[in-house]
Amino acid sequence: MHSPRRTISEALNLAQSAFLRQPENGGGPSNGTAPDSIPISENEVEHAPITRRRSRPTHFTRAAMRNATNAGRPEPLRSVTLRLPWSLADALRRTSIHRSLNYVEPYSQQAIAEAALREWLVRENIEV
């Protein structure tokens, strides 16, 4: 009926097992290996340096946004949830796909919505 169950060390090849191995300097058992892992010599696996992500500020002041923009970095984004009528959301999605296939900027839904909203705010004489 069914084949006999294999342990994880039997199922993985050397590269997969090395990928799943715990780093030598932290977390996990004191010898740095998972209980079912296969011992692997250092010359069999190329280790990539571990990089840490920088923490992102949770909020920005207007001055920080101006400084970020003036330094050549894009203005930080703030998450806003909007509910759109189905037909408008569908038109935005179709337009985004069409523009991306034809290499026309802006093509992402985010960029199209941002450009349209910015244009409307300017037309209404509202400072952006």
pLDDT tens per residue, the chain (128 residues)?
Answer: 677 888 877 788 887 877 877 666 555 455 555 555 555 555 555 555 556 666 555 555 666 655 555 556 678 888 899 899 999 999 999 999 999 999 999 999 999 999 999 999 999 999 88
The predicted structure's pLDDT at residue 112: 94
CA 106 from chain centre, in angstroms, equals 20
For residue 102, the one-letter residue type is N
**Quick check: 4 and 23 in contact, CB under 8 A?**
no
Torsion of the alpha carbons at 57, 61, 67 and 69, rounded to the nearest 10: 80
The predicted structure's pLDDT at residue 109: 93
**Quick check: 34 and 9 in contact, CB under 8 A?**
no
